[in-house]
Amino acid sequence: MRLLTILSSCYDFPLLKERILYYCEMLKTPTLVNNFVEKHAERVRWQIMRIYRNRNLIVHNGSSMPYLSLLIENLHSYVDVFLSYAIHSLAEKKNIETMCHELFMKECKWNASFPRNKEPLTKGQIKYMLSI
């Protein structure tokens, strides 16, 4: 399906249409993909710091921020993915060191696959992104 056909079929779903347009723009070039991933990683780091700040409030003062449940809900999917990876790896008899090396190698491969330039993404790069 062409993009215009998809967008016209999203007439009743303006948020979905907006997201499609956003991701089309953010994933056009390797530079934009890298920027998108870095921005996302930064947001996750900030979420973790907010949760840690709330943890300190609970431990030291017995109180928490009113948005604690929202923070935990937002981080939930990341924890699910991490735990799934850890459980599958341990079931395959991998140890912590092996898992760390594997994740480091994936990160290196990712960085090597997407040079920071403005050329359009290739089919191979898109296929690699979707296979991770």
C-beta neighbour count of 114 within 10 angstroms: 19
Categorize the per-residue pLDDT at 128 as very low, low, confident or very high, splitting at 50, 70 and 90: confident
Domain of 55, in residue numbers: 3-131
Q: What is the pTM of this model?
A: 0.63
Mark 47-60 as b/e (b = at least 16 C-beta within 10 Å).
eeebbeebeeeeee
Given its phi and psi angles, is residue 55 left (phi above 0), alpha (psi -120 to 50 degrees) or beta? alpha
Kindly report, residue by residue over 49-102, the tens digit of the pLDDT. Answer: 988 888 898 899 888 888 888 888 888 888 898 899 999 999 999 999 999 999
H/E stretch holding 7? helix 3-9
pLDDT at 118: 65
> For residue range 1-42, what is the model confidence (pLDDT) as tens digits?
588 888 888 888 999 999 999 988 888 877 788 788 889 889
In sequence order, which ranges of 10-95 are alpha helices (DSSP H)?
14-26, 30-61, 68-91
Selection from 114, 112, 107, 127 nearest residue 29 by Cα: 114
24 vs 46: CA distance, rounded Å: 25
Number of structural domains, the chain?
1
